[in-house]
Amino acid sequence: MFDIAWLWGLLGGLLIGSAGALYLLVNGRVMGASGIVGGLVDGSGRDSWAERAAFLAGLIALPGLAALLFGGSETHLTDNWALVIIGGLLVGLGTRLANGCTSGHGVCGISRLSLRGIVATVFYILAGGIVMVLARHVLGWI
């Protein structure tokens, strides 16, 4: 049974990959969301702040505009603030330690068969799956 959401997923994925390809082949940079933000926040990306800020502006503005034009989008973020804050801090700490997230290690790393990208992806998916199962089925948080 084929779900239309999968097709949207595939189409969206192609757009994400094209964005990464553009950033690599035109700007000569690896598209990693955590690294682009991180470099702005901690100052290590001062030399390329305009590029980083422009990337983030596009990343925030176009989905916002699209959601406005074609009906609101829904994130279904949990209203349990403790979960959001703890989750956010874990994401921030983890991606800085590992030097990458789903876009950098996942999309950009696996596509060039990088060992680091593959190992990172295996670990964050395993950890995410285990936490998900624990939090939803055992502890009933989500």
Partner 1 sequence: MKQTLAAALAGALFGLGLLVSGMTDTTKVQGWLDVFGDWDPTLAFVMGGALLPMAIAWRIAARRRTALLGRTIPLSPGGTSVDSPLVIGSTLFGAGWGLAGLCPGPALASLAWEVAAVWSFFSPCWRVWSPHPPPARGLNGWPRRPDPRPGRATGECNGYPCPDPSYAVSPQIDPADLPAIKAAGYSLIIDNRPDGEIPPDLHTDVIRAAAEALGLAFVANPVIGGALTMDNVATQRAAIEAASGPVFAYCASGNRSSVVWALAHAGTLPVDDLIAIPARFGYQLEHLRPTLQGLAQQG
Residue 138 Cβ, how far from partner 1 at the closest point, in Å? Answer: 10
Q: How many helices (H) and strands (E) does the chain have?
A: 6, 0
> Using only C-alpha atoms, what is the Rg of the chain?
17
Which of positions 24-83 make contact with partner 1 (CB under 8 A)?
A: 24-31, 33-34, 37-38, 41-44, 46-47, 50-52, 54-68, 72-78, 83
Instruction: Give the residue ranges of DSSP H helices in the chain.
Output: 4-25, 33-42, 49-69, 81-98, 110, 115-133
DSSP letter string, 40-66: HHHSTTGGGHHHHHHHHHHHHHHHHHH
Binding residue count for partner 1, defined by CB under 8 A: 114
From candidates 1, 15, 71, 140, binder to partner 1 by CB under 8 A:
15
Indicate the SS3 state at residue 72. coil
Position 13 contacts partner 1 (CB under 8 A): yes
**CA-to-CA distance for 73 and 10, rounded, in angstroms?**
19
In the complex, minimum distance from the CB of residue 127 to partner 1, in angstroms, rounded to a whole number: 3
Range 78-107, binding partner 1 (CB under 8 A): 78, 83-103, 105-107
Residue with tokens 């990693």: 32
**1 is a contact residue toward partner 1 (CB under 8 A):** no
Taking the complex as a whole, the smallest distance from the CB of residue 49 to partner 1 amounts, in Å, to 10
Least spacing, CB of residue 1 vs partner 1, in Å: 11
DSSP 8-class letter at 125? H
At its nearest, how many Å lie between partner 1 and the CB of residue 61? Answer: 7
Contact flag: residue 139 with partner 1 (CB under 8 A): no
